[in-house]
Chains A and B, each alone.
Chain A
Amino acid sequence: MNKHNKTEEIFSENLDRILAGEEAKTGTVSDVDMLSALDFAVKMADIQPAISTQFQRRLKAGLLKKLEDREIAAVEKNRWWAGLFQQPAFKAVAAVFLVILVVSLIWRAGVFDLSPGVPQPTTTPLPTATEAATTTTTTTTTYYAVGSLLGYNVRTDKAFYQAGEKVVISLTLKNTANNVLKMEKLPPIISVMNAETHKPVYTFSGGKETHTLAFGETVQFAYTWDQTDFNGRAVSGGYYLELEDIEYQGQTLKIQQPQPVRFEIKPETTY
């Protein structure tokens, strides 16, 4: 067995040499059968078929073309993704999404909130002025412009009222001018407007009070509405407040009301 293994091993080594284009090392080989087989292996190596060069070139060209097409397809696919980001439609969608996101964040921050609650309702239907003048301004109160001299803030104590509840309206005027203001005929006129018809259902008459305000100083007024219209009839539904322009030394200070204060009165339940 070992002798046979040795024989095959010598034969295989020489066969590898023959196929590599080298000469077999048969100097020490005495096995005639093996030598004859190695000679035949040389012959077999010589008559191996070669390839048609035309077929070889044609096949290579075809394969490289397929490779090129495949790579182009891969590049185009990735360019498509890159190109998508440049499409106007994609940019428009992305811009809309960003705007919605920003507006949502601002809305949640409460920038547009204009009607926080106000305390202390009064019992008289006429406006009363309280000189709760504060020398310092509250940092949480938003003041809207009254011309270029004043700022105002108006609010109701609630957003929703039951039938018969008193609606308390609080108005704060603030001197935003660089000089002392002597304001007359205060408090100013405020109307309760029907949200659907945009017509006044009730109007608080202007007062005859005079207030002198230093720069940054405020004055507050309270109005109480008993939910009745000009004819004394109880009303319900949605309403908003409208402040009349304020007169100062012959000039009219325009009220800027970006978003009116709204509230709602629920109808009286009848069974």
Chain B
Amino acid sequence: MIFFILLSAAIEKVSKLTAEAFSGFYEEYMPKVFKYICYRISNKHLAEDLTAAVFEKALVKFDTYNAKKAAITTWVFAIARNTLIDHYRAADHEKTTELDEALDLPQESKTPEQAVIDEEQWTMLQKCMLKLAPNEREIISLKFSSQMTNRQIAGMLGLSDSNVGVILYRAIRRLRDDFQGWQYE
């Protein structure tokens, strides 16, 4: 009986540590995961739902996360990537086509005029992203949201470091050309 009393106390103590740790983890990675998903999903509500799904999965697996197996960035973005793959399989499409509802950008720190400009540019960027190859789109999304190194991205996608670097350089240049062409239309 004493054993179970001590065990309950230990679990209560661990639970407080887990809540604090998860809270810190959420604060750091939630913006990054949301950005990653926004690169792939233009529908605002869907992006929020998928972001919530990612962190619910992360919550379930949080206690079993092993830092020796993977960096936490790699771990959470692997969950995010798999969540997106599952979504695409369920929705039966591989590219973001829902452009009818543009992603709202927060207005808190920008003037209304700047917010409109950013929204337009974001929409243009989304359309340019659709023209990229799937692997280019994936690498761009991971790079600009998670700020993972090329080596980490390479490990996640099963590519070499140099291959990721080449794809990034090529994709950003294509986006640049398409974006500039879009601007001048």
Closest to B4 in A: A82
- Residue of B with least CB distance to A76: B8
Q: Tell yes or no: A112 within 8 A of B by CB.
A: no
A56 CA to B5 CA in the complex, in Å?
Answer: 37
- Are A64's CB and B22's CB within 8 A? yes
Judge whether A67 is part of the interface by a CB distance below 8 angstroms.
yes
| Number of A-B contacts defined by CB within 8 Å | 125
Known: A12-B168, A40-B172, A74-B11. A49 touches B122 (CB 8 A): yes
Q: Write the nearest CB–CB distance from B130 to chain A, whole angstroms.
A: 15
B75 in the interface, Cβ–Cβ < 8 Å?
no
A49: nearest residue on chain B (CB-CB)? B38
Question: Could you mark each residue 28-54 of chain A with 1 if its beta carbon is under 8 Å from any beta carbon of chain B, else 0?
Answer: 000001101100110011011111110
How many residues of chain B have a CB within 8 Å of chain A? Answer: 50
Interface centre among A19, A36, A55 (most CB of B within 10 A): A55
Q: How far is the CB of B161 from chain A (nearest CB, A)?
A: 9
Contact residues in A for B18 (Cβ distance below 8 Å): 67, 71
Report chain B residues within 8 Å CB of A40.
172, 175-176, 179
The reply to whether B105 and A49 contact each other, CB–CB distance below 8 Å, is yes
Complex: A47 Cα to B123 Cα, angstroms: 10
Set of chain B residues within 8 Å of A47, measured between Cβ atoms: 118, 121-122, 125
Closest to B45 in A: A55
Give A113-172 interface residues, CB cut-off 8 Å to B.
none
Q: List 12 A-B contacts (CB under 8 A).
A: A7-B169, A9-B165, A11-B165, A11-B168, A16-B149, A40-B176, A49-B34, A49-B35, A49-B38, A51-B30, A53-B106, A63-B55
A residues engaging B (CB < 8 A)? 4-5, 7-9, 11-12, 15-16, 19-20, 33-34, 36-37, 40-41, 44-45, 47-53, 55-56, 59-60, 62-64, 66-68, 71, 74-75, 78-79, 81-82, 85-86
